[in-house]
Amino acid sequence: MAMVGLFWIGEDSVYVGAEPTGAASGVRLTEDGVESLGADQGRFWTWDEVVRLGTEGVPVRSGVRRLASMAFDAALVVVTGYGEQPPAFSVEVVTAEETVLVDVHTAVAGGIYPLSEYELSVALLERLAGGGAEIGDLLAWGRDHAAEGTPPREEREALLRKWAGA
């Protein structure tokens, strides 16, 4: 699996945020549509039903603030011996009939996304919902590259720009 922006991409799956485990909630994007996962979730919408995909509460910081926050968190774990779950944010799935918020955990190291990757990811979510981008492009990249792990930041941003048409 590899993290590219808000997306956790594998050879056969794309998640917004981290891939959920156990009863944790999550959002999986497939070629057929959008699926909410986890306890009391289990919903599915085809791409034709989805009007908009959005996010709420994504932890975003500039590069310097992100590094400082990660350093503080690491020091806190060393001193106290306790770590926290990655921060959560919500994915908003909007159809003509309803708006559903699904909580997901961040997939990025330190739990805080760089602003540029966040903005490109939001643009990609908008294009996916609007039919201007295909989840198959992310899946194809995942089949070819996800086993290599998360690419460097410059490559992640280039991929997001390509997929988002930015």
| 162 falls within a domain | no
Element (H, E) at 136: helix 135-145
Please tell me the total count of domains within the chain: 1
pLDDT at 84: 55
Rounded distance, CA 28 to CA 120, Å? 18
| 163 falls within a domain | no
Domain of 135, in residue numbers? 2-156
| 165 falls within a domain | no
DSSP for 103-134, please give it.
EEE--SGGG-EEHHHHHHHHHHHHHHHHTSS-
| 166 falls within a domain | no
pLDDT (tens digit per residue) in 145-158: 999 999 999 999 99
Q: Give the pairing type, strands 7-9 and 2-4.
A: antiparallel
pLDDT at 65: 40
| 48 falls within a domain | yes
| 25 falls within a domain | yes
C-alpha angle 161/147/22, rounded to 5°? 95
| 38 falls within a domain | yes
pLDDT at 83: 52
Q: What is the pTM of this model?
A: 0.84
pLDDT (tens digit per residue) in 41-97: 789 999 999 999 999 999 997 544 434 344 444 333 334 445 555 689 999 999 999
Mean pLDDT of 132-146: 96
